[in-house]
Amino acid sequence: MKRKNTIEVNLYIALAYRFLVIMVLYTLCRLGFYFFNQSLFQHITLPKYLYMMWGGLKFDVSALIYINILFILMQVLPFPFRYRKGYQSFCKWLFIISNSIGIFANFADFAYYKYTLKRTTATVFSQFSNEQNKFKLFVDFLGDYWYLVILFAIFVWLFVKLYQLVQVKNVVKFTWPVYILHTALLVAIALACLTGVRGGWGFGTRPITLSNAGEFVDTPDQMSLVLNTPFCIFRTLKASKLKPIDYYDDQTLKALYNPIHQPADSGSFKQLNVVFLIIESLGKEHVGSLNKDLMGGKYKGYTPFLDSLISQSYTFTHTYANGRKSIDAIPSVITGIPSIREPFILSIYSGNKTTSIAKLLGDKGYETAFFHGAPNGSMGFSSYTHLAGIKHYFGQNEYKKTGDSDGTWGIWDDPFMQYMAQTMNTLKQPFFSSFFSLSSHHPFRLPEEYKGKFPKGPLPVQEIFGYTDMALRNFFNTASKMPWYKNTLFVLCADHATVSYFPEYQTTPGYFSIPIVFYRPGGELKGMSDKLVQQIDIMPTVLNYLHYDKPYFALGFDAFNQRKDNFVVNNNDGNFSFYQGDYMLVNDGKLNIALYNLKTDRLTKNNILEKEPLIAAGMEKYLKAFIQQYNNRMIANKLTVN
C-alpha cells in the first residue's frame, strides 16, 4: 500500500534517485570535512575548491559502488520477487545501514584528520587491534565530539526520510519481453558500475586509487579534500607491495646514499647507559626555547622544564618526525627505519630481519628495557619491541600500584616515570632503556589534583604538555640521585607532532616538526646546530657517539657529523617530502610537484619548482637513491649487515 507523502516510481528510477541522494550527502560530508579542518587548508580560492568538489564526485561514485554493490545487484536481478514488500524492506535497511556506516567514517575524519593529516585508511583496523579498551576510546571520542554525533544523527534522519520519499512501483505483468529488457538493463548497470569503480573506461584505464586525487589539487595535502574516507579504506584493504627500483647501478647508488654505516673512528667504545624518552604528540611548536621568534620573541611555550634541559643539551634548528602516528615512531627511533606510505609495523615487510640499537647494544652486554604505561599489547609495542631485541617490557601489567590509571590509555605519566626511574635502578649497567609517554593524548585529561595547575593555551593538548613536562622534571630529579645517572646519554624526542595553532606550523614541514634533544649530565653535549635531523638519525648518532666499532644498517645519518649534505624524508598519504639544505621538495613517487625555499618562505606559499629546476633535479637524485635503497632492501629482506 502506498504511504502518504510518497511517490511510486519505476524501480530503476528509484535506484537512480537513491544513488543521487547518497551522492548529495557525500558532497555535504566533503563540505563538512573542509569546514571542520579549514585552518589546515589555507590559500584555496573558491574556483579551486569547486574544482576539487567536482573531482571528488569520481571518488564518491567509486566508494558508493563498493558499499552498495549488493544492494544494486538485489535491485536489478531480472525476477519478479524483487517487488515483494518484504524484499524491498530488507533492501531498504541494507542500504540505510551500510551507507550510514560510510557516512560515519567520513564524520570521524572531521575530527581525526587533524591528528594524522590524511584520510583514515584500512591500517586503522590493525593500528588499534591490540587495544584492550577500544570501546572506552570510542565512547570518549564520541563524548568529546558530541556535536558531530548530533550532526550525524540529523544526517541519518534526513537520509531515511529522503529514502522513503519514493516507493518502487510494482510491475503487474512479468512477460518474456520484460525479462529480456531487464536482463539487458542488468548488463548495462553492471558495466556502469565497473566504469564507476574504475573511475573511467577505456583500454589501459587502471582503477583509480588515492594518488589520482592529485589531478585536482595544487599541493599533496589538499588531496584529502577530494577523497572520501570509505574510498581510502576500500583502496587500502589489500596490503601494498613495494616495487623494485633500478634508477642507479650499485656503485652509483652507494656513492649517492649508503645505509651501511662503518665505524666512524678508532676510539674505544663508551659503555654509557642510553635512555630514549619519546613524548606523545609533542610538536616542536609547543616548546618555547625552540621558537624564540614567535609572537615577536614573547612566546614562552608550555614546557618550562624541557626548556631548561635544552639549554644544557645539544639540539638542532630543523628537527622532524618521519611519520604522523605513534606506530611510525618506534621503528624510526629504535630501528632507523621510517614508515613509507603505511606504518612499517603493519606492512607485509614487518617480519623482515632488522638491526635495532637495542640488538646492537645488547650484543655489547647491555641490558635492554622498554617502558609504556598502557595495557601490554597496546599499539603492538610489546610485540615490536620484542622483535627489536628488547628483553624487558614494562607496561601497565607490571605496574602493580592501583589508582594511577587515567581510565583510557593507561598509567599517568608522572607516577609511571617514577616507576621507570626506580626500575632502571635495578637494571645491570650498562643498559639501554626506552620510554613512551601517553598522557598528552586525546581526550587530554589531567589527574584531579593537577587541574588548573598548568597554563592553558588555544589548544587543549597544551595544558597537558605542562603536566608531562612536570613529570619529566620529577623523573630527572629522581634519576639524578641514581648511581647510573652521570654515566647516561639521554635522547628526548616526540613520536609525532599534533594539531597546530601558529601559521608557521600549519605547513607540511610544520606538521612534522618535533624536538630532538641529546643530553649528557655534566655538560659534554651542549649547543645548537643549524642542521636537518630526523628520527631515523637518532640510532646512528648515538652509536657513533658511543664509538660503536662494527658496521650496521640504518637509513638515517649521524647528526653530529659536520657534513651538511644529509637529507630528511617523510611520507604522508603517498607523497614524499624531501628536505635538503634550505629546500623542501615534494614528490608523488614519480614526479616532482613542488619546491620551497624554507629559509625565505617558511609558510611554503611560493612554489619555485619551475624557477629552480637544477635544485629540484639535484634533490630528486638523492630522493631516488633513498627510494631505491628502501624498496629493494625491504623487498629482498636486506635490512642488516651481512
∠ Cα 219 222 227 (to 5°)? 130
565's grid cell = 649534505
Q: Please provide the average confidence, as pLDDT, over all residues in the chain.
A: 89
Q: State the number of CA atoms in the 13 A half-sphere of 203 facing the CB.
A: 0
| Helical segments of 412-529, H only | 413-424, 460-479, 508-511
pLDDT digits (tens, 9 = 90+) for 110-129: 988 887 777 888 766 666 66
The whole-number pLDDT of residue 134 equals 67
Arithmetic mean of pLDDT, 380-388? 80
> In this structure, how many other beta carbons lie within 10 angstroms of the beta carbon of residue 413?
28
Q: How far is CA 339 from the centre of its chain?
A: 9
How many whole angstroms separate alpha carbon 41 and alpha carbon 48? 12
Task: Residues 269-339+351-560: name the CATH superfamily.
Answer: Alkaline Phosphatase, subunit A (3.40.720.10)
> In this structure, how many other beta carbons lie within 10 angstroms of the beta carbon of residue 11?
18
Give residue 204's pLDDT band: very low, low, confident or very high (50, 70, 90).
very low
- What lies within 8 Å, CB to CB, of 398 at 6+ separation is 376
Handedness of CA 263, 267, 269, 272 (dihedral sign): negative
392-394 and 552-553: which strand pairing?
unpaired
* Angle formed by the axes of helices 146-163 and 134-144, nearest 10°: 90
Map grid coordinates 648511581 to a residue: 483
Give residue 599's pLDDT band: very low, low, confident or very high (50, 70, 90).
very high
How many whole angstroms separate alpha carbon 610 and alpha carbon 595? 8
How many whole angstroms separate alpha carbon 41 and alpha carbon 44? 7
321's grid cell = 618526525
Residue extents of the structural domains in the chain: 7-235, 269-339+351-560
The whole-number pLDDT of residue 176 equals 77
Tell me which residue of 372, 365, 438 sits closest to 406, measured CA to CA: 438
Say if residue 301's pLDDT is above 90. yes
Asked if residues 515 and 492 have their Cβ atoms less than 8 Å apart, the reply is yes
The whole-number pLDDT of residue 128 equals 63
pLDDT digits (tens, 9 = 90+) for 14-66: 999 999 999 999 999 999 999 999 988 878 889 999 999 999 999 999 999 99
Q: How far is CA 470 from the centre of its chain?
A: 27
* Phi then psi dihedrals of residue 629, to 5 deg: -65, -45
Query: How much of the chain, in percent, has pLDDT values that exceed 70?
Result: 94
Asked if residues 459 and 501 have their Cβ atoms less than 8 Å apart, the reply is yes
Arithmetic mean of pLDDT, 172-185? 79
Between 377 and 162, the more confident residue is 162
Arithmetic mean of pLDDT, 230-247? 83
The whole-number pLDDT of residue 601 equals 95
pLDDT digits (tens, 9 = 90+) for 335-370: 999 988 777 877 767 767 888 999 999 999 999 999
Say if residue 203's pLDDT is above 50. no
